[in-house]
């Protein structure tokens, strides 16, 4: 089984390239997503590969919002989110972000 190294959240699909190019050491970070009601993310493995069909869960506080599996490019999307603080969770890793 491939181990999860990182969950990357991007504000738009176009910003993924720059995010991956500047990331030297995978780490989970918090961020704020402004002016959008969705989160786009990518599941990254320990060797830098994108993880396909990898489940990620979304919580708003302690409330379970839903689960998505990454697609063939490692991408997942949660849409129609309300303003607030959310947590993505996968394989013991978590990432907190805000929709404002």
Dig out the tokens for 52 from the structure.
Answer: 């396909």
Whether the pLDDT of residue 94 is over 70: the answer is yes
Nearest to 77 by CA among 13, 4, 2, 3: 13
How many C-beta atoms lie closer than 10 Å to residue 86's C-beta? Answer: 21
Write the pLDDT tens digit of every residue in 51-77: 899 999 999 999 999 999 999 988 899
Whether the pLDDT of residue 19 is over 70: the answer is no
Domain residue ranges in the chain: 4-99
Q: What's the rounded mean pLDDT across residues 74-92?
A: 90
Which class is 4-99 in CATH? mainly beta
Q: How far apart are CA 14 and CA 72, in angstroms?
A: 17
% of the chain residues with pLDDT over 70: 71
Which has more pLDDT, 36 or 71? 71
pLDDT of residue 2: 56
Instruction: Report pTM.
Output: 0.77
β-pairing verdict for 4-10 and 75-78: unpaired
Q: Write out the DSSP string of 11-24.
A: SSGGGHHHHHHH-S
């Amino acid at each position: 089984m491939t181990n999860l190294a990182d969950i990357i959240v991007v504000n738009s699909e176009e910003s993924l390239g720059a995010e991956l190019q500047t990331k030297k050491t995978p780490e989970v970070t918090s961020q704020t997503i402004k002016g959008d009601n969705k989160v786009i993310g990518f599941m990254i493995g320990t060797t830098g590969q994108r993880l396909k069909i990898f489940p990620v869960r979304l919580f708003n506080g302690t409330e379970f919002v839903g689960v998505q599996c990454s697609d063939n490019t490692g991408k997942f999307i949660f849409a129609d989110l309300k303003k607030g603080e959310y947590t993505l969770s996968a394989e013991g890793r978590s990432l907190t972000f805000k929709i404002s």
